[in-house]
Amino acid sequence: MASPKGVSLKEVADKAGVSTATVSRVINSKTGVKGETELRVQKVIKQLGYRPNRVAQRLRTTRGASKLIGLLIPDIQNPFYVDIIRGIEQYAYAKNFAIVIGNFSQNEERQKFYIDILKSESVDAFIVAPFPGMNEYVKELVEEGYAVVCIDRGLANVDMDVVKVDNFQGAFNAVEHLIKVGHKRIAHISGNVLIPTTIERISGYEAALSKYGIAIDRDIVIGRNSDYKSGVELTAQLLDIPNPPSAIFTSNNLLTLGALETIHSRGLKIPEEVAIVGFDDMYWAMSLNPPLTAVRQSGFEIGRITIELLHQRIADPTRPFVSIVLKTELIVRNSCGYKLNTKVT
């Protein structure tokens, strides 16, 4: 079984009768190569099917020129992050960056492991969706001079570029919608309160209630983790209290799914017996029965902007840091009481 290494630059140089330096210049379209020579080299490159070895390139090159970006994702099972990845990929390739994904499955140890790997792979830059316990590592990256863009939230006391979503407004709109549809007793199932987005969403929830003069009942604002199981169990808990809520606002897509399971398993009708709005508008939302009203945050757009920022930062490391906040959209379907299908931005 042959195991040929690819064609090397030297082979191209030999065959074309020039030096390696000239071939390198041709590849990187540097100036200073005679048209005739360039053509000859190009021809040989085509002939031999030469592709530069990225490993060698990265070894030689100084940081910022390797065109490799490390991406730290807390949980690839969460479709929201998948959307972000897609957005990043799409635009990264347009700008000729390659990306390597480190999915650490919300596991701190594995996250550290990935950071080390990515560093030793000589990435130019990091895109990080910070997770509790991650602050120190990310701070270190910034201090070591990597270009870093954070998704979803920034870090206290660390200047960096951040791309996030207006969680407060998104939650506010969702709850306001429930109120306008007639609900007065609205519960909130929140996620991990160590995550800032969770807290912002709780604030939005509270602000909406306050605006309409509804007292906040701490018994029906509950949270544990941001996962499916929590959704199932917390919903059961909510429905078991003496005067259960008429509507529930869930803080992310996994919690929503968990809540739905409990609601269906008890045979409760949505929205008549209990209404629900979820944060995150996922691709399955329309296929639910009834279709789910949800707060949409565009992961794809987050990805696009992230790459844009990274590109700018690499080009000009002194550019001032920015924090970009994207608007959410409330997608109204049929899980709250109305039968319409419109957007509230």
Partner DNA sequence: TGTAAAAATGTAAACGATTACAGTTATATC
Partner DNA sequence: GATATAACTGTAATCGTTTACATTTTTACA
Rule CB under 7 A: which residues touch DNA?
Answer: 5-6, 8-10, 17-22, 24-25, 27-28, 31-38, 50-53, 55-57, 59-62, 65
Shortest approach of its own copies to residue 247 CB, angstroms?
Answer: 17
Shortest approach of its own copies to residue 62 CB, angstroms?
Answer: 8
How many CB atoms neighbour CB 5 within 10 A? 6
Structure tokens at 281: 């508008």
Residue 33 near which of DNA, its own copies, none (CB within 5-8 Å, type-dependent): DNA
Residues facing residue 125 across a β-bridge: 69, 147
Going by the DSSP 8-state scheme, the letter that residue 285 receives in this structure is G
Residues 206-245 that bind its own copies (CB under 8 A): 228
Contact 66, 58 (CB under 8 A): yes
Contact 209, 188 (CB under 8 A): no
Residue nearer to DNA on the CB measure, 35 or 213:
35
CA-to-CA distance for 171 and 251, rounded, in angstroms?
Answer: 8
Whether the link from the prior residue into 244 is cis, omega within 30° of 0, is no
Shortest approach of DNA to residue 19 CB, angstroms?
Answer: 3
Pick from 11, 20, 24, 63: which binds its own copies (CB under 8 A)?
63
Residue 9 near which of its own copies, DNA, none (CB within 5-8 Å, type-dependent): DNA
* 110 in contact with its own copies (CB under 8 A): yes
Pick from 86, 139, 184, 224: which binds its own copies (CB under 8 A)?
86
Residue 39 near which of its own copies, DNA, none (CB within 5-8 Å, type-dependent): none
Residue nearer to its own copies on the CB measure, 283 or 343:
283
* 20 in contact with its own copies (CB under 8 A): no
Torsion sign over Cα 193, 194, 199, 200:
negative
Residues 178-197 that bind its own copies (CB under 8 A): none
Residue position matching structure tokens 């609205």: 186
Among 7, 293, 309, 291, CA closest to 178: 293
Shortest approach of its own copies to residue 215 CB, angstroms?
Answer: 31
Pick from 21, 39, 94, 117: which binds its own copies (CB under 8 A)?
117
Residue position matching structure tokens 């195991």: 3
Query: For residue 256, what are the CA distances in angstroms to 49, 264, 271, 295, 336?
Result: 51, 12, 14, 12, 14
Segment contacting its own copies by CB under 8 A, of 110-118, 151-159, 191-199, 213-221: 110-118
Structure tokens at 28: 């990187």
Residue 325 near which of its own copies, DNA, none (CB within 5-8 Å, type-dependent): none
Shortest approach of DNA to residue 22 CB, angstroms?
Answer: 4
Site string (272-311) toward its own copies, x via CB under 8 A:
-----------xx-xxxxxx--------------------
CA-to-CA distance for 115 and 308, rounded, in angstroms?
Answer: 22
CA-to-CA distance for 297 and 318, rounded, in angstroms?
Answer: 30
Q: Are strands 323-326 and 161-165 parallel, antiparallel or unpaired?
A: parallel
Residue 55, classified by CB atoms within 10 Å of its CB into exposed (0-12), middle (13-18) or buried (19+), is exposed
Residues near its own copies (CB under 8 A): 1-6, 51-56, 58-59, 62-64, 76-77, 79, 82, 85-86, 89, 93, 98, 100-101, 103, 105, 110, 113, 116-117, 119-122, 143-146, 228, 256-258, 260-261, 264, 270, 283-284, 286-291, 317-318
